[in-house]
Each structure stands twice: as structure tokens, then as C-alpha cells.
């Protein structure tokens, strides 16, 4: 299994992370902090860059269980948005 990077809210400037990390040999998982991608960011999100999108539903235990399938190297997030 490849090492995996979890990218939180990979739209806006965060959309640039996955292609670079994939070139470096990482698998990428998208962790979405909202149920839907904000309309202003929908066109910048590329689902094909990710092996999975996990939508945070407010249940930390459920999210951890979903992430346990992966060998996570690190997490990163876009810095120009404040997480809810």
C-alpha cells in the first residue's frame, strides 16, 4: 500500500496539492469538511485526483474508522479557508 496524504478541502488553492503529491508517489484522500463543496469552489475540485472523498459528518470516531484503511503519511489543508 502506498503512503497516503489526506488533503482537507482540496478546492481553491488546495486543488494543487494532489497532482504534485501523486507525482511524488503518494495516494491522496480528500477530506471534505462540509457536506457540499461551496458553489464558488465546485469548478476547482478534481475528484479524479483522489482515491476517495470522505465527508466529515461531525462524528470523529466514524472519520477515524474510515481513515484506518490507509497508511497515512500526513494531513494537509488549504490555508485560505477557515474550517467550520
**Per-residue confidence (pLDDT) for residue 14, from 0 to 100:** 80
Question: What are the helix and strand counts (H, E) for the chain?
Answer: 2, 4
**Per-residue confidence (pLDDT) for residue 79, from 0 to 100:** 61
Grid cell in block for residue 66: 474510515
Are 40 and 15 a contacting pair, CB within 8 Å?
Answer: no
**Per-residue confidence (pLDDT) for residue 82, from 0 to 100:** 53
Distance in angstroms (rounded) separating the CA atoms of residues 77 and 84:
13
Whether the per-residue pLDDT at 1 is higher than 80: the answer is no
Whether the per-residue pLDDT at 49 is higher than 90: the answer is yes
Question: What is the average per-residue pLDDT within 66-73?
Answer: 93
**Per-residue confidence (pLDDT) for residue 21, from 0 to 100:** 93
Amino acid at each position: 500500500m502506498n503512503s497516503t496524504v489526506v488533503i482537507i478541502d482540496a478546492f481553491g488553492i488546495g486543488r494543487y496539492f494532489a497532482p504534485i503529491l501523486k507525482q511524488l508517489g503518494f495516494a491522496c484522500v480528500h477530506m471534505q469538511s462540509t457536506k457540499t463543496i461551496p458553489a464558488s469552489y465546485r469548478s476547482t475540485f478534481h475528484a479524479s485526483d483522489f482515491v476517495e472523498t470522505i465527508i466529515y459528518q461531525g462524528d470523529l470516531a466514524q472519520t477515524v474508522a474510515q481513515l484506518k484503511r490507509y497508511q497515512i503519511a500526513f494531513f494537509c489543508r488549504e490555508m485560505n479557508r477557515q474550517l467550520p
